[in-house]
Amino acid sequence: MSEDRWFMKSPCAQCPFRRDVTPFLHPERADEISSLTWNRYNEFPCHKTVDYGDDGDGVTTAESLTCAGFLAMQISESGMNCPECFTPSSEVYSDPFEMVFAYEEQWKKSHA
C-alpha cells in the first residue's frame, strides 16, 4: 500500500454502500452514513480498517482508510475531485436516497 493513500481502492464484499449487498443496517444508520457524502470534508472509515475493542465499539486509528463505497458516493454527491488512482465503483448506490430506500425496503421485508 502506498504511504500516501488514504482510501480503500474498491468496496469490500460487505460494504454497506454497495447495491449488490443485501442491506443489513437499520435504515436510520444508512441515512446517517449516506448523508455524510454530501460534504466533501466528511470521512467514513472502512470497517476493515477500524480497531474493534472488547466492547465492540470501533475506533479509527492512524492506519484506518476511507471506505471506497463512501468515497465513490461522496465524489458524486459533493462534487469533490476524484483522487488519483481511484476509480469509483459502479456497484455503489447512485445517491443517498437510493441507498436509504433499499435499506428501508429490506427492513420492511425482514421485520414484517
77-111, pLDDT tens digit by residue? Answer: 999 999 999 999 999 999 999 999 999 999 999 99
21-74, pLDDT tens digit by residue? Answer: 999 999 999 999 999 999 999 999 999 999 887 777 888 888 999 999 999 999
DSSP state of 96: H
At residue 57, the pLDDT reads 80
Q: Are 26 and 107 within 8 A, CB to CB?
A: yes
At residue 4, the pLDDT reads 74
Domain boundaries, the chain: 27-49+61-110
